[in-house]
Amino acid sequence: MKKQAGDTADSEKKKIVIAVTALNAIDSPGPGVAVIRAIRECPDFDVRIIGLSYDALEPGLYMHDLVDKTYQVPYPSAGTDSLLARLLYIHEIEKIDLIIPNFDAELYNFIKLRDRLKKAGISTFLPDLEQFEARDKIKLYEFGQKHGLLVPADKVLYHAKDLKATAEVLGYPMVVKGKFYDAIIANTLEQAEKAFYKIQAKWGLPVIVQEFINGTEINIAALGDGEGNAISVIPMRKLYITDKGKAWAGITLDDASYIELARKFVKVTKWRGGCELEIMQTADGKPYIMEVNPRFPAWIYLTAAAGQNQPASLVRMALGQKVAPFKKYEIGKMFIRYAWDLITDITEFQSISGNGEHQDKKKVDSKVSLN
Amino acid sequence: MKLKKNIATSAEGFIFNPGTGDSFSTNPIGAEIISLLKEEKTPPMIIDTICAKYDIDPIQFERDLDDFKSQLVDSNILD
C-alpha cells in the first residue's frame, strides 16, 4: 500500500495507553483536551487516555468520553524526584506507553526525566534540553540573531531601575513580559514600572522588556521529527481574542512564507515534538517571531480538522514509527471555542481531591452522603 | 486592478482572503464587479459592462468604481 502523508509504515490498529497533562479547558485553556480529541479521532489506534492533573477542578477530568482515568501529579516546583515517583506508581497500574506533557512550566522536569521514563518503558517525544532552552523568552533575541530569524530586540531585567535606560534603547511603546506568561504594553516609564512590579509579583524575575512590533498576529502550529524535518505546519489567524489574549475563534491561512518560516525553525533547532510560533506580521510583510511555545497550542485540534493531525502524528513518531511530512491542508477551516457547563456530583470531586485518583466513571460506586 | 490569485469569492458577494484570514461582504453590484475582476476585465471593460446592464451614469460609476477599488486595496484583495 502506498504511504501517504501522516501515514506510517505500519498502521496496524493497536491499544495504546497515553497519559496527557493540561486538562484545564478553561477560558485560558491548556492544550490537553484538544490533544486527546485529536488522538481519539485517529482511526489507526485504539487508546486508553490517562489524565494527569494538578487541580481537582480541571474540566478534562470530568470528560469521560475523552479521559478514561485521572491521577493527580505533583506541581513542577516539587521537582523531578517526586514527579518520577508518582509517574512510576501510575505506570505500575496503567502500563503507560507514552506521556504527552502540555504545560510550559512542567516541560523542564519531563525533559530531565526522559531517559529514566524510557528505561521504565514510557516513551515521550520532547525536544532536548538545549533545544528547549534556546527558544526560551530570555534567549529568543540571541536565538534569532544566530539563525537569521526576525525577533524583536529585548532586554532581560532584574531591577526596575534599569527600565529607564532600556526605554532609551527600545523606545515607547515597549512590552513588559513575564518569563512564563503575561505581557503588558507600556507607553511611559510610570506604566513600565507598574507593569514590571505586577509581573515580578506574579512570575518572578527576570522580567523581559521587548521592542513593540505593530502588525497582525499569526500563530503557527508545527511538529518536528527531531531530525530537522517539519512533519506538519499549520498557520492560523485569531479571529476573536479574549481579554487574556487567547483565541476564541481562528482560521487556517494560505501563506507559503509562514510555512517556510516554521520549516526553518524546525530545521535549525532539529525540534522534536509540537510547538507554536507566535508571529507578528508587520504591514510591510516582515514576520517577527514574538515567542516560541515548546508544546502544542490549545487550538491544536484545528490541525486535525484541517487534515494534518499533529497529535496523532506525534503519537506515531513517539512509538518509533516513521511519518511522512504532510503536503496539504484545508485553508479557511475555522474553529470557534465554546463554554459548556459540565455537571457532576460531589462523589467524583472527592475521588480526585481526596484520593488523588479519579476512578473510571463506571467504577465509582461510593456516594458521599450530604444528609 | 487585479484580484490576488488565491482570493475566494462567492456569487453572493462574500470575499475571503486566505492569506490574511479576512473576509468581507459586498452588495450585489460589488459582487458583479468582483466576478468581472475574476474574469480579468479591466476597469473600462467593467464600466462598459455595468453601464450597459443598468441605467447609470458612466462618470458617476467610474467614481464609484475608484472608491470600491481603494476599499479593495485597503483590504489587501488586489495585487
pLDDT digits over A288-302, tens only?
Answer: 999 999 999 999 999
Residue A37: beta bridge partners?
A: none
CATH code for position A27: 3.40.50.20
Q: Residues for chain B: how many in total? A: 79
Which helix (H) or strand (E) segment holds residue A92: the answer is helix A80-94
Chain A residues with CB-CB distance to B21 below 8 A? 236-237, 239, 250-251, 253
Chain A residues with CB-CB distance to B6 below 8 A? 254
Return the CA Rg of chain B. Answer: 12
List, as one string, the DSSP characters of B8-62.
Answer: EE-TTSEEEETTTTEEEE--HHHHHHHHHHHTT--HHHHHHHHHHHS---HHHHH
Q: Beta strand A207-211 with A183-186: parallel, antiparallel or unpaired?
A: unpaired
Chain-chain contact of A251 with B21 (C-beta, under 8 angstroms): yes
User: Grid coordinates representing A49?
Assistant: 487516555
Q: How far apart are CA A120 and CA A88, in angstroms?
A: 8
Inter-chain Cβ pairs, chain A and chain B, closer than 8 A: 20
Taking the model in full, what pTM does it have?
A: 0.89
A354 located within any domain:
yes
A329 located within any domain:
no
Is the CB of residue B8 less than 8 Å away from at least one CB of chain A?
A: yes
Which helix (H) or strand (E) segment holds residue A325: the answer is none
Q: How far apart are CA A185 and CA A121, in angstroms?
A: 46
Q: Are residues A98 and A171 in the same domain?
A: no
A247 located within any domain:
no
CATH code for position A198: 3.30.1490.20
Contact A241, A248 (CB under 8 A): yes
Q: Are residues A112 and A164 in the same domain?
A: no
Chain B residues with CB-CB distance to A253 below 8 A? 18-21
Domain boundary among A211, A231, A246: A211
Q: Beta strand A357-358 with A334-336: parallel, antiparallel or unpaired?
A: unpaired
Which residues 6+ apart lie within 8 Å of A4 measured at CB? A324
A166 located within any domain:
yes
Chain B residues with CB-CB distance to A236 below 8 A? 21
Is the CB of residue B19 less than 8 Å away from at least one CB of chain A?
A: yes
Residues 250-269 of A with CB under 8 A from B: 250-251, 253-255
Q: How far apart are CA B3 and CA B72, in angstroms?
A: 9
User: Mean of the pLDDT values across residues A196-202?
Assistant: 95
Give the closest-approach CA distance of B24 to chain A in angstroms.
Answer: 13
Is the CB of residue B24 less than 8 Å away from at least one CB of chain A?
A: no
Domain boundary among A164, A191, A211: A211
Q: Beta strand A15-20 with A46-53: parallel, antiparallel or unpaired?
A: parallel
Residues B7-60 pLDDT 10s: 999 988 999 999 999 999 999 999 999 999 999 999 999 999 999 999 999 999
The reported pLDDT for the residue numbered A297 is 97
Residues A45-78 pLDDT 10s: 899 999 999 999 999 999 999 999 999 999 999 9
Cell 475574476 belongs to residue: B38
A39 located within any domain:
yes
Residues A306-336 pLDDT 10s: 999 999 999 999 999 999 999 999 999 999 9
List the domain range (segments joined by +) for residue A358.
15-125+342-363
Cα separation values, B25 from A43, A331, B31, Å: 39, 19, 8
Report whether the peptide linkage leading into residue A152 is cis, meaning its omega lies within 30 degrees of zero: no
Chain A residues with CB-CB distance to B18 below 8 A? 253-255, 331-332
Q: Are residues A26 and A90 in the same domain?
A: yes
Is the CB of residue B73 less than 8 Å away from at least one CB of chain A?
A: no
A321 located within any domain:
no
Residue of A nearest to B5 (CA): A254
Q: Are residues A174 and A82 in the same domain?
A: no
A20 located within any domain:
yes
Residues A221-272 pLDDT 10s: 999 999 999 999 999 999 999 988 889 999 999 999 999 999 999 999 999 9
Q: Are residues A161 and A82 in the same domain?
A: no
Residue A51: beta bridge partners?
A: A20, A70
Closest of A295, A299, A249 to residue A105, by C-alpha: A295
Residue of B nearest to A218 (CA): B20
The reported pLDDT for the residue numbered A370 is 55
User: Grid coordinates representing B67?
Assistant: 472608491
Cα separation values, A40 from A85, A193, A296, Å: 28, 47, 16
Q: Are residues A160 and A118 in the same domain?
A: no
| Selected residue of B4, B16, B20 to mutate for chain A interface (largest A Cβ count, 10 A) | B20
Question: Which of B6, B8, B20 is facing A237, going by the closest CB pair?
Answer: B20
The verdict on ipTM greater than 0.95 is no
The reported pLDDT for the residue numbered A368 is 53
Q: How far apart are CA A235 and CA A221, in angstroms?
A: 6
A352 located within any domain:
yes
Chain-chain contact of A216 with B6 (C-beta, under 8 angstroms): no
Domain boundary among A177, A195, A211: A211
Q: Are residues A30 and A121 in the same domain?
A: yes
Q: How far apart are CA A56 and CA A357, in angstroms?
A: 10
Q: How many domains does chain A have?
A: 2
Cell 526560551 belongs to residue: A136
User: Grid coordinates representing A73?
Assistant: 501529579
Q: How far apart are CA A256 and CA A52, in angstroms?
A: 37
